[in-house]
Structure 1
């Protein structure tokens, strides 16, 4: 039996269902347990079991998480949001020793780099890869440099990201942006790349997805594009940032080549697209926990287009988790 706990499950119904499908195929009788800090998270009602957990900032978080892991006989813990990653990275050894579970999280130094976009850009450049030019000082930006991008150095879902076309706009947004960073605006096709590596850092799959349409920073429409240039560049990046399990890399393909803008050592919202195309990270995780060794492959279907949509979940008061 391989029970999986998905943390901060929120709206990740597709991810819950992908794990359920993988468990049905490879470990029948296993369960997907969804956890969240509030009882109205839709994914809770699609999982095999649901639990409420305190937020990672709560002093009781570690003990509560370990209790859930033991009570539900969890084999794998899967974080899904950025604020969890550094906390779980620091606690991973203790969680695993206290419970015998496996936590899908990278080393603390990796999560520290990925959670800070300036550190991410520095790491990319130091390793001979490309990223948009970073303006260290706002006063160094001349009129010919506009438009530029301003965004918080930590954050996700495109929150606080602005395209700035004038000096007046920049002066207005700078004091209103938390720990701002300013980058050259690049033009090209934006891709999110779903990656999977085993727990030793060996790359198993790299799947570029063209971002056709987004909402709130999350993909609504995308197409699988098996682009050799992007795949090669991403594999080079992964060699410098070992991230066990599923991770996502965002990049643009420009006239200069592949330019990286973000790295997330977790499942992205659009990961079910790559899973459905055949790069099944959920099955990979289950098979690894069963002792299999996986090798690199590109056995996923190219040219698939996905269009995501919203769907309501209806529950009665008596069915609300934790109410």
Structure 2
């Protein structure tokens, strides 16, 4: 395969993901490089890339221009968004970026992004397509006391479980309605929590679907997970993907309850725990390179089952010039 330099956006703490792409790139061509970008030189992951750039914030006018310039300079062939807040901007500018560079942007259609980034739209998508989901608690429900505790509140455009809270009483409800900006309120669902890493090709054909039971979570990101080929979840996710029609890596949150699967949200990007699925055999980073080389891939479940994945923090030390030391 020809050189396939890859640009990882908003690298942040995604050290594992960059390592996965570096391993895959090295396997296909020793000259392929992983370039990382972030707004800060204290983002740990940039020091694990072959090269990094500090770029403007997403909301700044020259953000997209900076990406295009880097793509041209580094001969980028693949662009990987990683955080929710950049998805809309990247989707809106996908055609321009691909037109002005030789890069392929791994992002779904703007309609898919709009469904996933707005929690009201996501809830509506679930309801209209007969997928299990938490019941939405409206202003009228609250006014008429038409609900039961516990409830769950989160921002409509939230991410990483920031300002997401379980509500146990009227007093808490009154407080969090004012505290959480632009909130959505739902019934609280109890059961086994799963994250599902799904990977689809650029035509929207599923290649791998990996359910992971969430054993421990911190700030919305999994710390301990159990890979589980749960047939009920896999088949329902297949149905969801066929209706939503995304591409690339998709992260789906759901809860398995006594009355069936309840979908919570969809993040159309690599989730923080995606390297778990990659490492057990659902290697979406390698699959991307295979697809870009012209190889046709087919759905498979050729990954390890019943594997517990444990994640941990590590440290990087910088000198006064921002160079990695120790």
TM-score (norm 2): 0.96
Residue 25 of structure 1: how far off its partner (Å): 1.2
2:283 maps to what in 1? 280
1:171 aligns with 2:174: yes
- Cα shift readout 1:281-320 (whole Å, capped 9, x = no counterpart): 1001111111111100000000010111000011222344
SS in 1 for 2:190: coil
Distance 2:187 2:322 in 1: 50
1:191 maps to what in 2? 194
1:60 aligns with 2:62: yes
Distance 2:43 2:173 in 1: 37
- Cα shift readout 1:196-222 (whole Å, capped 9, x = no counterpart): 000010000000000000111110000
Q: Specify every segment of 5 or more residues in structure 1 that has no aligned partner in the other structure, as ranges.
A: none
1:9 aligns with 2:11: yes
- Measured on the aligned residues, the alpha-carbon RMSD in Å equals 1.1
SS in 1 for 2:237: helix
Residues 166 and 75 (structure 1), Cα distance of their counterparts in 2 relative to 1, 3 Å cut: same
SS in 2 for 1:29: coil
Distance 2:180 2:137 in 1: 15
Distance 1:319 1:231 in 2: 45
Contact 1:39–1:320 (Cα < 8 Å) also in 2: no
Distance 1:58 1:233 in 2: 39
Distance 1:319 1:264 in 2: 32
1:304 maps to what in 2? 307
Q: State which drifts further: 130-139 or 310-319.
A: 310-319
1:69 maps to what in 2? 71
Contact 1:8–1:37 (Cα < 8 Å) also in 2: yes
Residue 140 of structure 1: how far off its partner (Å): 3.9
1:92 aligns with 2:94: yes
Map 1:1-323 to 2 at 5 A. Answer: 1-137=3-139, 138-142=142-146, 145-320=148-323
Distance 2:282 2:143 in 1: 46
Contact 1:135–1:141 (Cα < 8 Å) also in 2: no
Residue 27 of structure 1: how far off its partner (Å): 2.5
TM-score (norm 1): 0.97
Residues 140 and 269 (structure 1), Cα distance of their counterparts in 2 relative to 1, 3 Å cut: farther
Residues 149 and 72 (structure 1), Cα distance of their counterparts in 2 relative to 1, 3 Å cut: same
SS in 2 for 1:145: coil
Residue 153 of structure 1: how far off its partner (Å): 1.2
Distance 2:318 2:294 in 1: 39
Distance 1:243 1:39 in 2: 32
Aligned length: 320
Distance 1:268 1:140 in 2: 38
Distance 2:181 2:227 in 1: 34
Distance 2:322 2:176 in 1: 44
**Consecutive aligned runs of 4 or more in structure 1 exceeding 4 Å deviation:** none
Q: State which drifts further: 234-243 or 97-106.
A: 234-243
